[in-house]
């Protein structure tokens, strides 16, 4: 059997009963986390621009933009809600990168249109998450090292899988949906720290949904798009790719349950999390006199600058992707929060002065290792040197980085919802609905609470 068709069959045959209790818990946490991030992100200036431009495209009033009563087409809703979810880099990580941002918006848009159950949404998200993890792990690191953004590159395919699952497409049409989606796969890391990052994530969510609809109406793509010599795997993975791994042990174990999903505590790039976790531990143990700091030496297992590559950020948004900015802000303020990434905080001279004392290097234990091995042994060390000769040091492994538990995502949602003025009774009802989402008969009930 050809690989692309085999993937389509795996998607169709996947069922809710194969999801463990932990997998269900993680899916529900992803849903509540996505809704909170989107409501907050919708207040960003770029989100308002996105709504204005997408709104001009018109379309049938099929589903709602979260936080608003306005209805528009499914593809517009997927684009806008995904953009808002990712606009502050406050959404979850795992699988292909930022799985919920590209899969939950199209899933809930379809759920609203077709009045689908919560169980159907969880099932579709679980199989999309699995496909994303398989794609990323089997494709190799060539394309990511070259500067492609994994969430955007792989997200359109996973959005197509989720959409095809919820639309009930057969094997042939699901195969076509996956194939068509590969023609829309793109996204560059260089855009991180600009509005184009959530734009390319939103486009991935929109493109997958569009691919599924085009396939349903008879549009075609190459049925061998994953495996052929000019297809997706060779173009983006070349000799590093292992297409066999794409379908091998699919769902055994299920990535959604097996992976340590990353629910964010801070609204910034995950590449900052090890060093911020180390700093939070140090600040809890002792006072660090910022005025006495002469140098901050950071060594990372990943070749610098890594994901948080904005060494000299020009804007507060670029600051989300700057390890130097996050370190300086954390030491000066003793905390990183939503205000950290405002112009007022970013433009402080003392922050930029401290940034000038930071030196980031590749840790000698990992220097020269291939990219994949760098990620598998991910850690950071930090040495803060003071004028009196003292050195305050910490080493922290990625497994110990701070992140929210599934339960804590509900608290995060409530905090984000309060920031945008959602009423307390609605907040409580949203939380109660998602907590029992597998028993929700019509997801329209959930969407109505936030619109």
Query: Can you give the residue ranges of every domain in the chain?
Result: 3-264+408-449, 270-400
pLDDT at residue 177, rounded to an integer: 98
Report CA-CA distances (Å) from 5 to 31, 172, 173, 175.
29, 7, 10, 6
Q: What is the pLDDT of residue 375?
A: 62
Q: What is the pLDDT at residue 218?
A: 98
- Structure tokens that stand for 369 in this block: 């290792």
Domain 270-400 CATH (choose: 3.90.420.10, 3.40.50.300, 3.30.1330.120, 3.40.50.2000): 3.30.1330.120
User: DSSP assignment of 187-225, as one string?
Assistant: -BGGGTTSTHHHHHHHHHHHHHHHHHHHHHTT----TTT
pLDDT tens digits for the chain (451 residues)?
589 999 999 999 999 999 999 999 999 999 999 999 999 999 999 998 998 888 767 788 999 999 988 899 999 999 999 999 999 999 999 989 999 999 999 999 999 999 999 999 999 999 999 999 999 999 988 777 789 999 999 999 999 999 999 999 999 999 999 999 999 999 999 999 999 999 999 999 999 999 999 999 999 999 999 999 999 999 999 888 999 999 999 999 999 999 888 999 999 999 999 999 999 999 999 999 999 999 999 999 988 888 899 999 999 999 999 999 999 999 999 999 999 999 999 999 999 999 999 999 999 988 877 766 666 678 999 999 999 999 999 999 999 999 999 999 999 999 999 999 999 999 999 999 999 999 999 999 999 999 9
As a whole number of angstroms, the distance between CA 82 and CA 79 comes to 5
Please report the pLDDT score of residue 261 as a whole number: 82
Task: Give the pLDDT confidence score for residue 367 in this predicted structure.
Answer: 80
Edge-to-edge order in the sheet of strand 391-397: 358-362, 293-300, 379-386, 391-397
Superfamily of domain 3-264+408-449: 2-methylcitrate dehydratase PrpD (1.10.4100.10)
pLDDT for 354 equals 98
How high is the pLDDT of residue 267?
Answer: 98
Q: How many CB atoms lie within 10 A of CB 175?
A: 28
Give the contacts of 300 (CB within 8 A, at least 6 positions apart). Answer: 274, 275, 306, 360, 361, 362, 363, 379, 380
What is the rounded distance in angstroms from the CA atom of residue 358 to the CA atom of residue 330? 13
- pLDDT of 376: 65
Cα separation values, 396 from 246, 287, 300, 379, 393, Å: 32, 19, 10, 6, 10
Structure tokens at 99: 């799985």
């Amino acid at each position: 059997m050809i690989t692309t068709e085999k993937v389509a069959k795996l998607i169709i045959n996947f069922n809710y009963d194969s999801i463990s209790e932990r997998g269900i818990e993680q899916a529900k946490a992803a849903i509540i986390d996505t809704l909170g991030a989107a409501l907050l992100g919708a207040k960003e200036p770029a989100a308002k621009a996105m709504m204005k431009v997408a709104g001009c495209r018109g379309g049938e009033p099929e589903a709602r933009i979260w936080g608003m009563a306005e209805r528009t087409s499914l593809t517009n809703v997927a684009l806008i809600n995904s953009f808002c979810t990712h606009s502050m880099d406050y959404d979850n990580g795992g699988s292909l990168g930022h799985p919920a941002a590209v899969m939950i918006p199209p899933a809930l848009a379809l759920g609203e249109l077709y009045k689908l159950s919560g169980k159907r949404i969880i099932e579709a998200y679980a199989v999309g998450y699995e496909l994303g993890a398989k794609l990323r792990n089997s494709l190799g690191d060539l394309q990511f090292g070259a500067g492609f953004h994994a969430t955007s590159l792989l997200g359109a395919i996973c959005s197509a899988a989720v959409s095809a699952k919820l639309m009930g497409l057969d094997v042939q049409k699901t195969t076509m949906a996956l194939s068509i989606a590969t023609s829309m796969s793109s996204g560059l890391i260089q855009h991180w720290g600009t509005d184009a990052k959530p734009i390319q994530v939103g486009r991935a969510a929109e493109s997958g949904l569009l691919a599924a609809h085009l396939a349903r109406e008879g549009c075609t793509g190459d049925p061998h798009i994953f495996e052929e010599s000019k297809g997706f795997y060779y173009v983006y993975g070349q000799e590093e790719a292992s297409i066999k791994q794409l379908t091998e042990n699919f769902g055994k174990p299920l990535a959604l349950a097996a992976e340590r999903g990353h629910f964010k505590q801070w609204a910034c790039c995950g590449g900052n999390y090890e060093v911020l976790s180390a700093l939070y531990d140090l600040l809890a143990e002792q006072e660090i006199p910022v005025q006495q700091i002469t140098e901050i030496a950071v060594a990372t297992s990943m070749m610098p600058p890594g994901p948080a590559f904005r060494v000299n950020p020009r804007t507060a948004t670029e600051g989300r992707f700057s390890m130097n900015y996050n370190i300086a802000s954390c030491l000066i303020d003793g905390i990183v929060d939503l205000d950290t990434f405002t112009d007022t905080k970013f433009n402080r001279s003392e922050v930029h002065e401290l940034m000038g004392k930071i030196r980031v290097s590749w840790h000698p234990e990992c220097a020269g290792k291939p990219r994949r091995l760098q990620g598998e042994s991910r850690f950071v060390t930090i040495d803060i040197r003071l004028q009196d000769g003292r050195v305050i040091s910490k080493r922290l492994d990625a497994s110990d980085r701070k992140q929210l538990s599934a339960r804590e995502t509900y608290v995060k949602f409530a905090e984000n919802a309060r920031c945008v003025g959602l009423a307390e009774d609605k907040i409580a009802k949203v939380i109660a609905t998602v907590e029992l989402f597998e028993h929700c008969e019509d997801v329209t009930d959930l969407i109505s609470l936030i619109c």
